[in-house]
Structure 1
Amino acid sequence: MGDYLVVLEAPIIVRDVETSEDAINVAVSKVTKALNREKLDFVRVELGYSQCPVCGAHFESAFVIGNVGLVGMYLTLKVYNAQTIEHAERIAKAVVGKALKKVPLKVYEIRELQEDEDDGVEVEL
């Protein structure tokens, strides 16, 4: 049994926004409310970043076209006592997916935690 840090990537669509800053604020609020409704306040919500294919610079993953925004979010949680990396991935997706129905979740990063790492969020099976 291992402990894992799982970072999920989620695209959030928001409507009636004028700027990318508005889209970010609405998306963070929307995701946080959904997680809190399911008592998942241990999931850390962060804005995603994209990389420019031309220059390689990083920028916030928020795009607005016609008052509809698409915001990339990272959702981070710890999964304890998982049998394998794949098991930790399934647990994380099931836990977060319970709150964010109809939002496709993709694993951005997953790594096994060392014994001395114990900061942040958790899910125990």
Structure 2
Amino acid sequence: MNNHQNLPSTDLSVKLQAITVSVHDATQSCQGNVTLLLALLRQLESLHKEIRDGIFQDSLPDNRQRLYSLLKDIESEGGWPYIERMRLQAFLVNLSAEVDNQNQAIKNTGNSPGIDSSWEW
């Protein structure tokens, strides 16, 4: 294991907090724009993959004691980091509910927003 602990723990905490604030700010800027939010999620996933497949993998333990220490830390600190993708079925349920709401609004107002109301999901 390559122990690059040049940064004190508090310095790392400050940097992680700054990243968190930046991501929250970006999220707020994208609110309501699903395309921008998707781009943000893709960027975060890309960064996760870059760190995991690069410097993290290069820093993995090279002996049993260090491996045990890493596994103990993973277990005590909350598990392996993972970025879960939204399941397509959940996405379609949300989309279907939105289409149903739009169809109901069309029926209630009698106005068509340019979508053929006979079209169903």
More helix by share: 2
Higher RCO (CA-CA < 8 Å; seq separation 6+) = 1
TM-score w.r.t. structure 2 length?
0.25
Work out which of the two has the higher radius of gyration on C-alpha atoms and give 1 or 2.
2
